[in-house]
Structure 1
Amino acid sequence: MNRLCVHTITTKPWSIEEAAENFAKAGVSGITVWRDALDGRNVQQTGEMLRQHQLEIVSLCRGGFFPSTSAKKREEAIVDNKKAIDTAAALGAPMVVLVCGADPGQPLSTSRKQIQEGIEKLLPHAEANNVKLTIEPLHPMYADTRSAINTLAQANDMAESISSKWVGIAVDVYHLWWDDLLQSEIMRCGRNDNLYAFHICDWKSPTEDMLLDRGLMGEGCINVPEIRGWVEEAGFEGQIEVEIFSNRYWEMDQHQFLDQIIKAYQNHS
């Protein structure tokens, strides 16, 4: 349990105050905060509250969404990402996870170029605030609007091209479990010392909704323990983050859901 982190979005019906209290009581050791959970709150005071509950603030979700056919929208994305970095710094989060974005009105190669340009523009602000930027490749089904970075190889290529200790990678099993190059690309992260985050859940079969029907570990077809073994072999020693989007689980009693998360973490990760 000393490495179990739960995202605020996983227990979406709870406020961040409720999540902090209940995570701490259950023995969860870390929390990743989604920006919407901070709405209407003093960010610095919220960070202090989380630390008072002995929760490690693992990261802030999310930044990104850099590409657009509109130069104005690309600039607006930079402004928003700077705000995310500021929020992470005030909260005490060491990194911002980037859902990099895509624009269906242009080639994926153009979107990828704009993603790299966007991250490079943010680097001085990230470094000044001591906040890392973490590229999260997303499943190809999201390549139209959510992310043009769809494989770990693409994320590795970009991180290596940027070549900054302030830029790393998040491995999410939901997005990458299908990739036959996953093991070798995780080891590549290890060689580059840039594997900053590891997210777990499961892929249900059949899946009723490609966004909002993720499963608990052990409920689907992802070999989470095997992938965890690879990331640890690559040198990852950080928190194991449970990130689940699920209408079914959001509708149930969240105390019972948290109990199920803990059991699934203990038995299937």
Structure 2
Amino acid sequence: MPEDLSRLCIHTITTKPWPLEVAVDKYAAAGVGGISIWDDAATDIGIPRTRQILDGSPLQVVSYVRGGFFPNHNREARQHSLDNNRRLIDDAAEIGAPLLVLVCGAEPRQSLEESRRQIQAGIEALIDHSAGCGVKLAIEPLHPMYADTRSAINTLGQANQMAEAIDHVQVGIAVDVYHLWWDDRLEHEIQRCGANDNLYAFHICDWKVPTQDMLLDRGLMGEGCIDVPLIRSWVEAGGFRGFHEVEIFSNTYWSMDQDEFLKRIITAYRNFS
């Protein structure tokens, strides 16, 4: 179990009620090592102000969240998505984030196979721009319950296949335990991901039982059914030495005192990660 917080990263969405400046100060004061910035937290105050806040903090910026949403049955909409992703890459570079996490999207008016083709084409179209900005791209596979509109990439195997087909150092994978814990091939696919040096991010939380909301009821590590330490051991056996990123969407936790919630995050990280 982790003894210090140097590899703990918290996503700003986790403590959503806090403005970015407050979150940065609170995380740093607690000894947290890293922060991942959600685009709403940055655009609410502007990218220059975001950079100013982060430059004044000891926190390491781990990633910018979230790009993607490539598929659409309309060509103009797909082009708009690419333009938006280029803007997000620019913003990530400006705030000093080395990685843009991609929630790849899906289009219910077409097959999953077609959506996956459009996702790969979209990512490939961004490689030159992302390389020029020094920002890598991470495909994040999402749980199959989101295959309708949020992502046609639903297993780590699918993400591995796409990353290997693209075969570029700019493109890797974000492993999120919430989306992947159920997969009986997860250990194998993590090994595959690590063998190809494609493991770019590791997100942690827990799956509460019963889950009250499939989007907004994630749990703290240790209060659900995900064996986070086991998955962490697979990730580290695959060569990953990056941050453990706590990403929790929870109406329950957003409604409580955020200072108390931060204490709970740290306790859960130390005891159940």
Quickly name the TM-score band, shorter chain normalised: over 0.9
Asked whether 1:135 is paired with 2:139, we answer yes
Instruction: Tell me how far apart the structure 1 counterparts of residues 57 and 91 of structure 2 sit (CA, whole Å).
Output: 20
Question: Which runs of no fewer than 5 residues in structure 2 stay unpaired?
Answer: none
The one of 34, 42, 51 aligned to 1:47: 51
Q: Which amino acid aligns with 1:13?
A: P
Q: Structure 1 residue 72: deviation in Å?
A: 1.0
Q: Which amino acid aligns with 1:125?
A: H
1:2 is matched with 6
Q: Structure 1 residue 50: deviation in Å?
A: 1.8
Q: Tell me the alpha carbon deviations over residues 150-170 of structure 1, each in whole angstroms, 9 at most, x when there is no partner.
A: 000000000000000000000
The one of 107, 113, 119 aligned to 1:109: 113
Q: Structure 1 residue 46: deviation in Å?
A: 1.9
Instruction: Tell me how far apart the structure 2 counterparts of residues 194 and 137 of structure 1 sit (CA, whole Å).
Output: 13
- 1:101 counterpart SS class: coil
1:254 is matched with 258
Instruction: Tell me how far apart the structure 1 counterparts of residues 48 and 237 of structure 2 sit (CA, whole Å).
Output: 35
1:33 is matched with 37
State the superposition RMSD in angstroms.
Answer: 0.8
Instruction: Tell me how far apart the structure 1 counterparts of residues 33 and 52 of structure 2 sit (CA, whole Å).
Output: 15
The one of 228, 234, 237 aligned to 2:232: 228
Instruction: Tell me how far apart the structure 2 counterparts of residues 228 and 50 of structure 1 sit (CA, whole Å).
Output: 28
Instruction: Tell me how far apart the structure 2 counterparts of residues 101 and 58 of structure 1 sit (CA, whole Å).
Output: 22
1:63 is matched with 67
- 5 Å matches for 1:71-86? 71-86=75-90
Instruction: Tell me how far apart the structure 1 counterparts of residues 209 and 64 of structure 2 sit (CA, whole Å).
Output: 30
Q: Structure 1 residue 40: deviation in Å?
A: 4.0
- Asked if 1 retains the 8 angstrom alpha-carbon contact of 2:54 and 2:95, the reply is no
- 2:206 counterpart SS class: coil
Q: Tell me the alpha carbon deviations over residues 171-191 of structure 1, each in whole angstroms, 9 at most, x when there is no partner.
A: 000000000000010001111
Q: Which amino acid aligns with 1:266?
A: R
- 2:37 counterpart SS class: strand
1:170 is matched with 174
Q: Which amino acid aligns with 1:141?
A: M
Q: Which amino acid aligns with 2:205?
A: C
State the number of aligned residues. Answer: 269
- 2:184 counterpart SS class: coil
Q: Structure 1 residue 86: deviation in Å?
A: 0.3
TM-score by length of 2: 0.97
TM-score by length of 1: 0.99
- 1:76 counterpart SS class: helix
Instruction: Tell me how far apart the structure 1 counterparts of residues 192 and 42 of structure 2 sit (CA, whole Å).
Output: 35
Question: Which runs of no fewer than 5 residues in structure 1 stay unpaired?
Answer: none
Q: Structure 1 residue 31: deviation in Å?
A: 0.3
Instruction: Tell me how far apart the structure 1 counterparts of residues 152 and 46 of structure 2 sit (CA, whole Å).
Output: 34
Q: Which amino acid aligns with 1:167?
A: V
Q: Structure 1 residue 41: deviation in Å?
A: 2.8
